[in-house]
């Protein structure tokens, strides 16, 4: 069966596919999202929802560069997105503190803090008492200090994914849920169509936004993408009156309290293939760890646990580029631990790549050639 043609087909209805569709639709491009399950049913609906401008990624990039800029673009877009589509995505720039429990870690945070300060990004240095004053709900005797960034925050990731998709459909995007991308066709060296479980869609471009399954979708065009699933387990408590105000990172497990009052506790990073089971040992470890850090959690009931699959690359940075071949294939994959932080910015870059505009950010750090360069250097 043939379906109506589309300029662009986006394979995957997670936060990255939804953000790409939103940006493309806003630019006047006819776009179709093809998602084999439902919107945000995989990693994008299973994560913690942190949007951090200063955190672990800053240690690798202490002079803020493309990774910081990609986060900044996304976070700024989230401020406007809720109003534009009329959906409360629960985005709060509540500020967050990155803590150290060893002198080595403290030195790494200090280096990033100094780099950020040099570039005029607001970060404050805290000693152990300062951390305590910054987030009174959190306490651990091993904490030596850390840095506070008022730009860090959190969002409801499923609401974010839905808001992006809703924004896209309001601008004319078509959404095919419960529909699988099965084959990508080419004519000569160009993309010509996508074969889905609902029929064939003639198109000029495809965006691979298939998350942990990006490698399988890449293989449909002969690409071997370095993306693998990494499992993260999470526990959710019942709702309680708000007692955690800030986002605390660097002390595991982490806990964030949602707008409704539920506490999300997580998460692991495990290489176990596509297994999304949750195990009792991890739950027990989470319980011990979080009670030692957030005493007010004592007595709260656990109501759910789950696991999601991060689409991980070897350096945990995404791949955002037009593939060398076939022409018309755009990659928006491998967002690893920070797909919520990077989504709207990724969508913008995808739109610019697909429509041939100048990209808002230098794309070298997000090109797949970096893996060959790293292998050559090694
Ligand atoms: C436990 C955990 C905690 C995390 N915490 C954070 C956090 O605090 N902050 C942050 O920024 N990030 C976090 N992340 C990472 C973030 O969730 C991911 O980087 C992001 O959701 C990836 O989005 P995606 O759209 O690429 O992938 P996904 O959300 O997995 O979406 C890919 C979609 O593609 C679909 N698909 C696959 N194959 C096909 C096909 N053949 N045809 C059609 N559809 C297909 C899938 O069904 C899926 O819906 C966390 C992740 C986990 C698991």
Question: pLDDT grade, residue 376 (50/70/90)?
Answer: confident
Please indicate, yes or no, if residue 146 is contained in any of the structural domains: yes
In this structure, the number of other CB atoms found within 10 A of the CB of residue 200 comes to 17
Query: By the 8 A CB rule, do 64 and 119 touch?
Result: yes
Question: pLDDT grade, residue 373 (50/70/90)?
Answer: confident
Q: Are residues 118 and 163 in the same domain?
A: no
Angle between helices 157-170 and 339-354 (to 10 degrees): 20
**Last residue in a domain, options 150, 167, 186:** 150
Q: Are residues 323 and 290 in the same domain?
A: no
Residues 6+ apart with CB under 8 A from 294: 137, 138, 244, 255, 263
CA 94 – CA 357 distance, rounded (Å): 34
Please indicate, yes or no, if residue 282 is contained in any of the structural domains: yes
DSSP 132-196: HHH-TT---TT--EEEEETT-EE--HHHHHHHHHHHHHHTT-EEEET--EEEEEEETTEEEEEEE
**Last residue in a domain, options 134, 150, 166:** 150
Could you write out the three-class secondary structure of 231-296? EEEEEEECCCCCCCCCEEECCCCEEEECCCCCEEEECCCECCCCCCCCCHHHHHHHHHHHHHHCHH
Question: Measured in angstroms, how far is the CA atom of residue 203 from the centroid of ligand 1?
Answer: 24
Residue 238 has pLDDT above 90, yes or no: yes
Question: Measured in angstroms, how far is the CA atom of residue 212 from the centroid of ligand 1?
Answer: 7
Q: Are residues 341 and 353 in the same domain?
A: yes
Please indicate, yes or no, if residue 77 is contained in any of the structural domains: no
Please tell me the number of Cα atoms within 13 Å of 77 on its side-chain side.
24
Query: By the 8 A CB rule, do 54 and 116 touch?
Result: yes
**Last residue in a domain, options 312, 336, 365:** 312
Q: Are residues 199 and 323 in the same domain?
A: yes
The pick from 337, 341, 345, 366 for probing ligand 1's pocket by mutation, whose C-beta has the most ligand atoms within 8 angstroms, reads 337
CA 266 – CA 251 distance, rounded (Å): 11
The pick from 340, 341, 342, 344 for probing ligand 1's pocket by mutation, whose C-beta has the most ligand atoms within 8 angstroms, reads 340
For the chain, the farthest-separated pair of C-alpha atoms sits apart, in whole angstroms, at 66
Q: Are residues 218 and 343 in the same domain?
A: yes
Question: pLDDT grade, residue 33 (50/70/90)?
Answer: very high
Residue 304 has pLDDT above 80, yes or no: yes
Q: Are residues 182 and 233 in the same domain?
A: no
Q: Report which ligand 1 atom has the smallest distance to the Cα of 342.
A: 11
Q: Return the CATH number at 172.
A: 3.50.50.60
Please indicate, yes or no, if residue 302 is contained in any of the structural domains: yes
Q: What is the mean pLDDT of the chain?
A: 96
Question: pLDDT grade, residue 267 (50/70/90)?
Answer: very high
Q: Report which ligand 1 atom has the smallest distance to the Cα of 38.
A: 49
Please indicate, yes or no, if residue 201 is contained in any of the structural domains: yes
Q: Are residues 223 and 319 in the same domain?
A: yes
CA 200 – CA 167 distance, rounded (Å): 25
Please indicate, yes or no, if residue 56 is contained in any of the structural domains: no
Q: Which residues pair with 263 in a beta bridge?
A: 257
The arithmetic mean of pLDDT across residues 183-187, rounded, is 98
Please indicate, yes or no, if residue 83 is contained in any of the structural domains: no
Q: Are residues 281 and 322 in the same domain?
A: no
Question: pLDDT grade, residue 374 (50/70/90)?
Answer: confident
Query: By the 8 A CB rule, do 17 and 207 touch?
Result: yes
Q: Are residues 325 and 222 in the same domain?
A: yes
Q: Are residues 214 and 338 in the same domain?
A: yes
Please indicate, yes or no, if residue 245 is contained in any of the structural domains: yes
Q: Are residues 135 and 245 in the same domain?
A: no
Q: Are residues 203 and 321 in the same domain?
A: yes
Count structural domains, the chain: 3
Q: Return the CATH number at 297.
A: 3.30.9.10
Q: Which domain holds residue 283?
A: 228-312
The DSSP call for residue 92 is: B
Q: Which residues pair with 159 in a beta bridge?
A: none
Q: Over the stretch 139-155, which tens digit does the pLDDT of each residue have?
A: 999 999 999 999 999 99
Query: By the 8 A CB rule, do 333 and 368 touch?
Result: no
In this structure, the number of other CB atoms found within 10 A of the CB of residue 127 comes to 12
CB within 6 Å of ligand 1 — which residues? Answer: 11-17, 34-37, 41-44, 46-50, 180-181, 209-213, 217, 232, 234, 266-267, 308-311, 335-341
Among the ranges given (82-86, 215-219, 232-236, 265-269), the one the predictor scored with the smallest mean pLDDT: 82-86
Q: Report which ligand 1 atom has the smallest distance to the Cα of 233.
A: 1
């Amino acid at each position: 069966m043939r379906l109506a043609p589309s300029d662009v087909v986006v394979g995957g209805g997670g936060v990255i596919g939804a953000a790409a569709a939103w940006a493309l639709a806003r630019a006047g491009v006819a776009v179709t999202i093809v998602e084999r399950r439902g919107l945000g049913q995989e990693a994008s609906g299973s994560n913690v929802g942190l949007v951090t401008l200063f955190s672990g990624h800053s240690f690798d990039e202490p002079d803020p560069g493309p990774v910081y800029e990609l986060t900044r673009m996304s976070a700024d877009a989230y401020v406007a997105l809720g109003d534009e589509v009329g959906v409360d995505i629960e985005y709060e720039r509540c500020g967050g503190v990155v803590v150290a429990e060893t002198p080595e870690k403290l030195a790494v945070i200090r280096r990033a803090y100094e780099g950020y300060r040099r570039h005029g990004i607001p970060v404050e240095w805290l000693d152990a008492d300062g951390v305590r004053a910054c987030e009174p709900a959190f306490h651990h005797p091993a904490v030596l200090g850390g840095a506070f960034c008022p730009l860090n925050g959190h969002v409801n990731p499923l609401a974010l994914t839905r808001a992006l998709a809703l924004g896209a459909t309001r601008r004319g995007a078509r959404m095919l849920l419960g529909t699988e991308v099965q084959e990508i066709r080419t004519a000569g060296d160009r993309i010509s169509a996508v074969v889905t479980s609902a029929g064939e869609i003639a198109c000029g471009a495809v965006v691979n936004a298939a998350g942990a399954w990006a490698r399988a979708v890449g293989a449909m065009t002969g690409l071997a993408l370095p993306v693998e699933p990494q499992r993260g387990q999470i526990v959710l408590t019942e709702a309680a009156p708000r007692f955690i105000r800030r986002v605390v990172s660097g002390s595991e497990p982490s806990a964030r309290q949602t707008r409704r009052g539920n506490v999300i506790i997580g998460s692991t990073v495990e290489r176990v293939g596509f297994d999304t089971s949750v195990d009792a040992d991890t739950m027990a470890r989470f319980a011990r760890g979080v009670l030692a850090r957030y005493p007010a959690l004592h007595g709260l009931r656990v109501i759910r646990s789950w696991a999601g699959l991060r689409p991980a690359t070897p350096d945990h940075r995404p791949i955002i580029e037009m593939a060398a071949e076939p022409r018309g294939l755009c990659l928006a994959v491998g967002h690893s631990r920070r797909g919520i932080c990077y989504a709207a910015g990724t969508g913008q870059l995808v739109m610019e790549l697909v429509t041939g505009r100048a990209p808002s950010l230098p794309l070298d750090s997000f090109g797949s050639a970096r893996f060959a360069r790293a292998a050559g250097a090694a």
